Amino acid sequence: MKNDNQYAVEMDSITMIFNKTLIANDKIDFRVKTGEIHALVGENGAGKSTLMSILFGLYEPTQGEIKINGKIEAITNPVKANQLGIGMVHQHFKLVGIYPVWMNIAMGDEITKGKLFLDKNKIKEKIRDIMIKYNLEVDLDAKVENITVGMQQRTEILKILYRNADILVFDEPTAVLTPQEISGLLKVMQKLQKDGKTIIFITHKMAEIQAVANSATVIRRGKKIETFDMSKTTIEKLAEAMVGRKLAEIKNKYIPCQDKIVLDVQSLTMKKISNHKVIGLENFDLKINAGEIVAIAGVEGNGQQELVGAISGLEKVSFGKILVNGNDITKASIKKRYQKYKINHIPEDRHKHGLVLDNDIIQNMVLQNIDDPEFSKFGLIKRNSIQSYAQKIVSKFDVRGAQNGFAISRQLSGGNQQKAIVGRELTREHDLIIIFQPTRGLDVGSIEFIHNEILLEKEKGKAVLLVSYELGEVMALADRIVILNGGKKIGEIPGKGAKREEIGLMMTGKGAN
């Protein structure tokens, strides 16, 4: 065991320049002590994932030097990183959906019989030992495409532990997890630390840093700002270092809404998206007025996706009616919902439903309304108008790395992809906007900005349906909070004066209408 003062990772003067123009990392010095949990924090697009991709061998730095356990190393690819005991759980998982879990874990490092055949039993035995040791239970025979996001993440962690990694990099590991899964992951990280592992933890969530990190390094616009000892630092100080200013508290002022009903959901019943043989939402009623924000609270998987799918048109309604401004849209096409009935939608899954990842940002900003006279005439595209419109969104919503909109969407960080989608949907004309997990993966400064924009929607007289698993977000923004449990409406309370404990209790099914 190494001396506590020794460093597991030393990255000296790391610079990474893309396309000879974009400086992602600018002479960054980053040191992580052996056996500590070290948070790497900063705004979306600050260069955190790039720095860790260099450590893992996905990129070779333009300049700089890396030492692992005191020895200079050239980490030219992930195989070399694995040999040095470095493992990485990526923000977007690297798993093969059609293969079973055990095969994904062992892929590329299989135990064989006679160098020809997979020794399935020995592989599974090795994985089970790790599962028991770190309380990382998964179904080894299930196909990855059929397991939950939380289970997929456990699979990724098992994958790096299977390879005997001692330095573990977690890139935004909690961005797609439920509160219960987050709590479980943080406990796993602490258990790994007790076992002598060194953990680098990229996150935007201050509570998580406070809960498990020993140190935190802040990066802003590609430069290192400072490394903090978390036992001597406040979360407010850390947040201020991230964004370069004090953050304002954004809160609903509870101005009464208008009398006009924009959304009227009547006796809605939906089949579960993941299993059409099961009811996912049952006999659900909801009205939202102009100038009102109604939030849906509940543990993930209790009918939120089915509700949003029904209103947005992504899922077929089993029973019930949906009216917008008095018009029955239950069977209307998605195009009609967007264009005629003025419904906008910030989706939960930004990759599946939010962006065409291989198109540039400019094209993605006019996906739903390319046939507007502003953007096309007689089938001819008005490129200058589209470019000007998209660049205004990119500028207003601070979409970093967008290269004035010409960057391919998949090249942006997850947080900046999210800001582009939020900007597009809030900018397009609408009467009703469905907002599903709007700040997932965003830094504290971006969250402050987006929350302010959502409250401006209320001031403009728009109807807002907010679905969020972040209770703090729900309580800060909502005029009314509707609680779902088991696909049923458990209760409804005013946003003003709402208490976290009360909502939490109702989310477990112990509330009353």
Mean pLDDT of 257-280: 91
Residue 212 pLDDT exceeds 90:
yes
- Residue range 118-145: mean pLDDT, rounded: 88
In the predicted model, what is the mean pLDDT of residues 245-259? 89
Q: What is the pLDDT of residue 262?
A: 97
How many Cα atoms are found within 13 Å in the side-chain-facing hemisphere of 505? 9
Res. 415: pLDDT tops 90: no
Same fold, 7-243 and 258-342+430-442+460-513: yes
What pLDDT shows up at residue 2? 46
Q: Does 19 have pLDDT greater than 70?
A: yes
**What is the band of 511 on the pLDDT scale with cuts at 50, 70, 90?**
low
Q: How far is CA 31 from the centre of its chain?
A: 27
Task: Give the distance, in angstroms, between the CA of residue 159 and the centroid of all CA atoms in the same chain.
Answer: 21
Reported as a pLDDT band with limits 50, 70 and 90, residue 243 is: confident
Q: Greatest CA span in the chain, whole angstroms?
A: 76
Higher pLDDT, 493 or 506: 493
Look up residue 121 and give its two tokens.
């039993």
The per-residue pLDDT for 510 is 66
Asked whether residue 3 carries a pLDDT value surpassing 50, the answer given is: no
What does the alpha-carbon distance between residue 294 and residue 481 come to, in Å, rounded to a whole number?
A: 6
- Which of 26-40, 246-260, 268-282 is most confident? 26-40
Q: Give the separation between CA 94 and CA 60, rounded to whole angstroms.
A: 20
- The highest-level CATH class for domain 7-243 is alpha beta
* Residue 134: predicted pLDDT: 84
Domain assignments of the chain as residue spans, ordered by start: 7-243, 258-342+430-442+460-513, 350-428
What pLDDT does 384 receive? 94
Least confident segment among 121-135, 217-231, 284-298? 121-135
> Could you tell me the pLDDT band of residue 427, with boundaries at 50, 70 and 90?
very high
As a whole number, mean pLDDT of residues 45-57 equals: 92
* Rounded average pLDDT over 263-279: 90
- Write out the DSSP string of 449-489: HHHHHHHHHHHTT-EEEEE-S-HHHHHHH-SEEEEEETTEE
pLDDT, tens digit, 9 for 90 and up, residues 319-343? 999 999 999 999 999 999 999 999 9
Q: Distance between CA atoms of 3 and 250, rounded to whole angstroms?
A: 45
Rounded mean pLDDT, 182-192: 87
Least confident of 69-78, 242-251, 260-269, 405-414: 242-251
Q: Is the model's pLDDT at 295 over the cut of 80?
A: yes
Burial grade of 157 (CB within 10 A; 0-12, 13-18, 19 or more): buried
pLDDT > 70 fraction of the chain, expressed in percent and rounded = 98
User: What's the mean pLDDT when you consider all of the chain?
Assistant: 90
Mean per-residue pLDDT, 424-453: 91
Give pLDDT, residue 184.
83
Tokens 């029955």, residue located? 328
What pLDDT, on a 0 to 100 scale, did the predictor assign at position 252? Answer: 93
Q: Give, in words, the CATH class of 258-342+430-442+460-513.
A: alpha beta
User: What's the one-letter identity of residue 78?
Assistant: P
CA dist., res. 341 & res. 336, Å (int): 6
